[in-house]
């Protein structure tokens, strides 16, 4: 939806600032009550969800103009959606902060006012089919010597969609995931160098046209393979396929995050976690796997004012409170690992604290990315856990950088590493 269509909503924001905080009933301590990495770091209202809504309103009313400074404020935000959840939990959902901020970014792209690094990220995706400027051939190097089906010319039931970050930056994660699938006897394959970016970065920057190009190509390609399931390692890819691809084209396959698929394979008895992994661990909910991954719910209606003040939607619109993300499968897996003691942080599930790397922030504003990650590591440490576990390669890279920068003594795992370790009780090798 265009920014103009959100004008009424921008006026509806009552400037209460509750979007800066975890929803009140969920606050466990003052120390970990903040919700928004951007306002916590820059401490000026414009850097909050509500602040960016005021910016949108002022632009729509021609009170300010699109400038480089404005673009810097709009984009020092990881688009994590925590403000969106807090606002909706407080007001029932008649305001959509994240949608407004996305529409604002779309407008910035149209006006050519985006930060220089975001501009080059879009150029890199166009030129290289990935945001890392890596050659296509390198995309399949992680799989060397693993005898995995290449679905460009072979058939399988399941496509393992590896994603740019695992393929180019965390090849060990891709190998571990493929080893788990092989040991579980799954009939799967990959697209190797033919795999395209999911275009999550392009979408988050606000280039909807570029994202749609990739979405159409990916949907067409996946449909043509005849696969029943597409399984992702990356939370970013998952949330694109689940939430943003459905309106673009009919998808003849299910999309599952690897944690959902592993949980299913455990229930079917194909994965057994029998080796003890004696560790006290806590889990970081990736935003893209949690609150942002709610399945797409189509709605095509209008807002109406009734009784002079109440806003209703006709037909009723399902409010995205963020509660329908993938929260239980990773927790169920961790609780099934023998010897693993699982503890929760204070900010979890739909009100989880963001690792700080999304929305182009890691590339363009690394100081914000490391601030957010350091905060999360402190929260993990406060639980007494020896290990922080996540389920997203992008989170893993950012949290890992912050652990090294801060010289913090906490181990970091992707959940698949612990799964493979626990499977070794059944004599499983590799990874
Ligand atoms: S976006 Fe929502 S929570 Fe934030 S200031 Fe506006 S009304 Fe309040
Ligand atoms: S999306 Fe996240 S970083 Fe951006 S304003 Fe909302 S809470 Fe803050």
Q: Whose CA is nearest to atom 1 of ligand 2?
A: 79
Q: Evaluate if residue 309 carries a pLDDT over 80.
A: no
Q: Whose CA is nearest to atom 3 of ligand 2?
A: 77
Give the number of whichever ligand sits closest to the CA of residue 89.
Answer: 1
Query: What pairing do the DSSP bridges indicate for beta strands 302-306 and 310-314?
Result: antiparallel
Q: Evaluate if residue 415 carries a pLDDT over 80.
A: yes
Give the number of whichever ligand sits closest to the CA of residue 354.
Answer: 2
Identify the three-state secondary structure at position 85: helix
Residue 5 structure tokens: 């269509």
Strand partners, 342: 281
Q: Evaluate if residue 431 carries a pLDDT over 70.
A: no
> How many angstroms separate the alpha carbon of residue 135 from the centre of ligand 2?
33
pLDDT category of residue 312 using cuts at 50, 70 and 90 = confident
Q: Across residues 345-365, what is the average pLDDT? A: 97
Q: Evaluate if residue 306 carries a pLDDT over 90.
A: no
Is the CB–ligand 1 distance for residue 87 below 6 Å? yes
User: Which of 77, 285, 292 best tests ligand 2's pocket when mutated (most atoms within 8 Å of CB)?
Assistant: 77
Nearest to 99 by CA among 85, 84, 114, 118: 84
Domain 122-270 has CATH 3.40.50: yes
Rounded to two decimals, the pTM is 0.96
Query: What pairing do the DSSP bridges indicate for beta strands 387-390 and 279-283?
Result: parallel
Which fold, 1-114? Fumarate Reductase Iron-sulfur Protein; Chain B, domain 2 (1.10.1060)
Find out whether 323 and 317 touch, Cβ atoms under 8 Å: no
Residue 403 structure tokens: 């652990």
pLDDT category of residue 283 using cuts at 50, 70 and 90 = very high
> How many angstroms separate the alpha carbon of residue 398 from the centre of ligand 2?
17
Q: Evaluate if residue 68 carries a pLDDT over 80.
A: yes
Residue 317 or 175, more confident: 175
pLDDT category of residue 308 using cuts at 50, 70 and 90 = confident
Q: Which atom of ligand 2 is nearest to the CA of 48?
A: 5
The sign of the CA dihedral 242, 246, 249, 250 is: positive
Domain boundaries, the chain: 1-114, 122-270
Give the number of whichever ligand sits closest to the CA of residue 356.
Answer: 2
Q: Evaluate if residue 338 carries a pLDDT over 70.
A: yes
Identify the three-state secondary structure at position 201: helix
The DSSP result for 88-148, as a single string, is HHHHTTS--HHHHHHHHHHHHHHHT-S-HHHHHHHHHHHHHSSTT---GGGGGGGGTTS--
Buried b / exposed e across 86-124, counting CB within 10 Å, b at 16+? bbbbbeebbbbbbebbbbbbbbbbbeebbbebbbebbeb
Q: Whose CA is nearest to atom 8 of ligand 2?
A: 36
Is the CB–ligand 1 distance for residue 97 below 6 Å? yes
Please write the tens of the pLDDT for every residue from 131-171.
999 999 999 999 999 999 999 999 999 999 999 999 999 99
Give the number of whichever ligand sits closest to the CA of residue 351.
Answer: 2
For the chain, the average pLDDT equals 96
Pocket of ligand 2 from Cβ distances under 6 Å: 35-38, 48-49, 77-83, 354
Q: Across residues 116-142, what is the average pLDDT? A: 96
Buried b / exposed e across 167-181, counting CB within 10 Å, b at 16+? bbebbebbbbbbbbb
Find out whether 72 and 82 touch, Cβ atoms under 8 Å: no
Q: Whose CA is nearest to atom 7 of ligand 1?
A: 13
> How many angstroms separate the alpha carbon of residue 93 from the centre of ligand 1?
11
């Amino acid at each position: 939806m265009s920014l103009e269509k959100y004008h009424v909503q921008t006026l509806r924001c009552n400037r209460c600032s509750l979007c800066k905080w975890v929803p009140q009933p969920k606050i466990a301590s003052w120390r970990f009550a903040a919700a928004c990495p951007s306002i916590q770091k820059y401490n000026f209202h414009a850097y909050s969800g509500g602040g960016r809504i005021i910016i949108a309103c002022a632009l729509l009313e021609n009170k300010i103009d699109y400038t480089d400074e404005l673009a810097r404020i709009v984009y020092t935000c990881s688009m994590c959606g925590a403000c969106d959840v807090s606002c909706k939990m407080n007001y029932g959902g008649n305001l959509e902060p994240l949608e407004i901020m996305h529409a604002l970014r779309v407008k910035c792209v149209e006006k050519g006012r985006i930060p220089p690094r975001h501009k080059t990220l879009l150029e890199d995706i166009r030129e290289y089919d990935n945001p890392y400027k890596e050659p296509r051939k390198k995309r399949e190097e992680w799989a060397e010597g693993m005898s995995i089906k290449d679905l460009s010319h072979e058939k399988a039931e399941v496509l393992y969609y590896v994603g740019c970050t695992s393929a180019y930056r965390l090849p060990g994660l891709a190998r571990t995931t493929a080893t788990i699938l092989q040991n579980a006897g799954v009939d799967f394959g990959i697209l190797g160098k033919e795999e395209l970016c999911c275009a999550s970065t392009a979408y988050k920057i606000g280039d909807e046209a570029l994202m749609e190009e990739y979405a159409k190509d990916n949907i067409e390609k996946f449909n043509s393979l005849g696969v029943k399931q597409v399984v992702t390692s990356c939370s970013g890819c998952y949330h694109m396929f689940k939430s943003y691809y459905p309106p673009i084209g009919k998808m003849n396959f299910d999309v599952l995050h690897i944690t959902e698929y592993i949980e299913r394979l455990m229930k079917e008895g194909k994965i057994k976690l029998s080796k003890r992994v004696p560790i006290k661990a806590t889990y970081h909910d990736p935003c893209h796997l949690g609150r942002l991954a709610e399945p797409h719910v189509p709605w095509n209606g209008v807002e109406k004012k009734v009784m002079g003040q109440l806003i209703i939607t006709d037909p009723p619109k399902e409010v995205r409170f963020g509660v329908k993300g993938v929260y239980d499968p990773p927790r169920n897996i961790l609780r099934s690992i023998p010897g693993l003691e699982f503890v929760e942080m204070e900010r979890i599930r739909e009100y989880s604290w963001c690792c700080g790397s999304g929305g182009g922030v890691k590339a363009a504003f690394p100081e914000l990315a490391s601030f957010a990650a350091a905060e999360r590591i402190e929260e993990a440490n406060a639980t007494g856990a020896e290990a922080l576990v996540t389920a997203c390669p992008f989170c893993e890279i950012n949290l890992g950088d912050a652990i090294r920068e801060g010289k913090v003594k906490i181990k970091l795992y992707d959940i698949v590493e612990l799964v493979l370790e626990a499977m070794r009780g059944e004599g499983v090798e590799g990874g």
